[in-house]
Structure 1
Amino acid sequence: MHFLPVERFVASIIAALFVIDIALVGFKDIQIDVVGYCLSIGIGSGLVFLGQIYRARKREEKMAAALIAAGLFILFSICGSIFNYMFLPVRFSLIDEMLMRIDGWIGYDWARSVTWVASYPLIGTLLFFVYATSLPQLLFIIIVLGFTGKIRQLHQFLLTGVLGALISITFWVFFPTYSPSAFQELPAWVPQAMPLALGPEYGRELVRLGHEGVRYLTPRNVEGLIGFPSFHIFMAAMSVYFVPRYRAVILVIVTLNLLMLPAVLIQGAHHLSDVFGGVLLFAIVCPLSIRLAKMLTFRAGESPSGRSNVLVRSFWSFPEK
């Protein structure tokens, strides 16, 4: 296996999470959908393996980088989601009340906002579909960055997502939130007027998980546990920041993610404070990830200008010791 420095770093994190997940699942005696997870892991691993085949051809580096990054992204998402669930039931005090109080100072109320949007079903439906584009957007940007040869930006993108997710999980463990949907009810007509990605049922399920923990895990119905900071907003910021500079692509991605702001609030059942938290997290993590990516690459033999020296070129020709 020939991994570039950032790929190797991310693969190491995935391997560590995988071992921890296996240990905690066994320790907590949690039943797991083996077939479902094996299929998901197989897809991610298959992409990485296919990328290695293209890399071995030496002239197929763009394809290799895109496939490996996509595979690592999938594998990290699987291991990271399981890792997040291992901290159930909730052990620390919720911060939802504080966040709702802050939202109240600003004048925001989730139930009232959702009810207002439901009066305009086309808008609510549009936000429903926009909300569902978060992960596809990330995969799209991975593919485009890889196939256009922007390997450095691709690795910075990958590292930003991984570190942002780990920090979000860590913060959630000590400062957990459920969702305003766990504390506020919607009029009965609202779910009938427009589709809701996450509604009151989601809030009730989070409360149940927070009290009882998880007994069975399957990739088919894993819930997003993290409320503050909003990782959907973090991903939206990633998409806008790292989108390849092609006018048509920029226009689509920027438009989608401007709409993602209200979509996260309405369809994602978030506090308004979660949005600010997601933006702040990205503002902190992104420059740190870029710097770390440069450090990892430079130590492996790439010059600060991005031009590979002999050491990097030899990386492709000789097996690692």
Structure 2
Amino acid sequence: MFIWCLSWLSIFALSDFIASDISLYWSFGSACAIAGCGALARRYRHDRVALFLEACTVPAIAAALSAATIIMLASVSGRFVDVQLIRIDAMLGFDWRVIFDFYLAHPWIVPISETAYSSFQPQFLLLPVALCLWRPEMLWPYITAYIFALLATAAIFPFAAAEGPYVYYGIPQGIVPNIGEEWPWQWHFGEWITQLQKGETQDISKVWGGLVQFPSFHSAAAVLFIWASKSIRFLRWPGLLINVAIILSTFISGAHYLSDVLAGCAIGLLSIWAATSVPILRWPTRSSFPNLSPQSA
């Protein structure tokens, strides 16, 4: 990840891209500084301190690098593939509009879907800390899988950019209560990508909300969250229920086709396999860190 960080910073410095929101610089710089303290703690065998600092910062650094990489790749992405994604859905017997009509007919489900979808952020922040406390030997396999999923998503994205079902089907903003009320990003995938392709914007802070339609990273992350939380006894079933809800919520709250969701789940499973089975990616076992001992969970 250090090489990834240096490469991205070099490209960013040499490109026309900027970030007008100064807080992005401060947040990224602070996370890198704290991660550096973690590396120093590991150097002096303070393994528990090192793991805690890594848990708090490394996933965030990787996510920021991935988001910035995706924004840059959007400028060279191909044509929108909504037609192809809808065709795949049809082959699987799925019609996104049926789910949308269900939400319209049962508006009480919208807040549940929105809550489930937004649970991604607290899990992203807190699950690594929980692993550090109760299953320290699982932290770096989880982080490795998470980074692998980010890289796979970024690599696929420019070949499968899409506008999303709300725009493709001409569904106006506001027709579904509570969807996109505060920030209607679900309606702007295509607009932002087109602006980047035409060079109409170089400010990454204006499109930081997300551009990826296929594959669904929320679905990939939900699979990783289920896998990681399964190792902590009291999080096992809550983690399963919450993250199944995340996957189901991606259709409307995340504006995803079924093909997006299935591809995201596949990336999650592939990332777990890579982190646990590919020798070059496997993290040392607990015996390599004698100062670590998981607490009861």
**TM-score tier after normalising by the smaller chain length:** 0.7 to 0.9
Q: Deviations over 1:12-35 (max 9, x none)?
A: 332323323333xx2xx2332261
How far residue 54 of structure 1 moved from its aligned partner, in angstroms, is 4.8
Among 26, 31, 43, the alignment partner of 2:18 is: 31
Q: Is the 8 A contact 1:66 1:145 kept in 2?
A: no
> Following superposition of structure 1 onto structure 2, how do residues 127-146 of structure 1 map, counting pairs within 5 Å?
127-146=113-132
Say yes or no: does 1:15 pair with 2:16: no
Cα distance change of structure 1 residues 185 and 77 upon mapping to structure 2, 3 Å threshold: same
How many residues end up aligned between the 2 structures?
Answer: 288
Give the counterpart letter for 1:195 in structure 2: I
**CA separation of 1:56 and 1:130: change in aligned 2, threshold 3 A:** same
**RMSD, aligned CA:** 2.8
* Aligned partner letter, 1:77: A
- Amino acid of the residue matched to residue 243 of structure 1? S
Within-5 A mapping of 1:134-173? 134-148=120-134, 150-173=135-158
Q: Is the 8 A contact 2:173 2:184 kept in 1?
A: no
How far apart are the structure 2 equivalents of 1:73 and 1:214?
Answer: 31
Following TM superposition, the consecutive aligned residue runs of length 4 or more in structure 1 with deviations greater than 6 angstroms are none
Matches within 5 A, 1:1-321: 10-23=1-14, 26=15, 29-33=16-20, 35-52=22-39, 54-55=41-42, 58=45, 60-148=46-134, 150-186=135-171, 190-191=175-176, 193-196=177-180, 201-203=187-189, 205-206=191-192, 208-209=194-195, 211-213=197-199, 215-219=201-205, 222-292=208-278, 295=280, 306-308=286-288
Unmatched 5+ residue regions in structure 1?
1-9, 314-321
- The answer to whether the 8 A contact 1:50-1:67 is kept is yes
Give the aligned partner of residue 319 of structure 1. Answer: none
Distance 2:266 2:157 in 1: 15
Alignment CA distance shift 1:43-1:114 (3 Å): farther
Task: Report the AA paired with residue 274 of structure 1.
Answer: D
Between 1:227-236 and 1:276-285, the stretch displaced more is: 276-285
Normalising by structure 2, what TM-score?
0.84
Aligned residues of 1:33 and 1:216 also touching (Cα < 8 A):
no
Q: Percent identity?
A: 19
How far 1:126 moved relative to its partner? Answer: 1.1
CA-CA distance at 1:101 after TM superposition: 1.3
Asked if the contact 1:32/1:218 (under 8 Å) is kept, the reply is: yes
Larger radius of gyration: 1
User: How far 1:234 sits from its partner (Å)?
Assistant: 0.4
Q: Which moved more, 1:151-160 or 1:216-225?
A: 216-225
Q: Residues 108 and 272 of structure 1 are in contact (CA less than 8 Å); yes or no, is this contact kept in structure 2?
A: yes
Counterpart AA for 1:307? S
Q: How far did 1:90 drift?
A: 4.5
Gaps of 5+ in 2: 291-297
How far apart in 2 are the matches of 1:189 and 1:295?
48
Distance 2:96 2:199 in 1: 26
Distance in 1, matches of 2:51 and 2:186, equals: 41
Contact 1:265 1:271 in 2 (8 A): yes
* Residues 147 and 19 (structure 1), Cα distance of their counterparts in 2 relative to 1, 3 Å cut: farther
Contact conserved, 2:220 with 2:265, CA < 8 A, in 1? yes
Name the CA distance, whole Å, in 2 between partners of 1:72 and 1:64: 11
State the alpha-carbon separation in 2 of the partners of residues 250 and 258 from structure 1.
Answer: 12
Q: Cα–Cα, structure 1 residues 194 and 91, in superposed 2: closer, same or farther, change >3 Å?
A: closer
Aligned to 2:294: none
Alpha carbons of structure 1 residues 284 and 57: separation in structure 2 relative to 1, 3 Å: closer
Q: Which amino acid aligns with 1:73?
A: P
What is the CA-CA distance between 1:209 and the residue it aligns to? 3.3
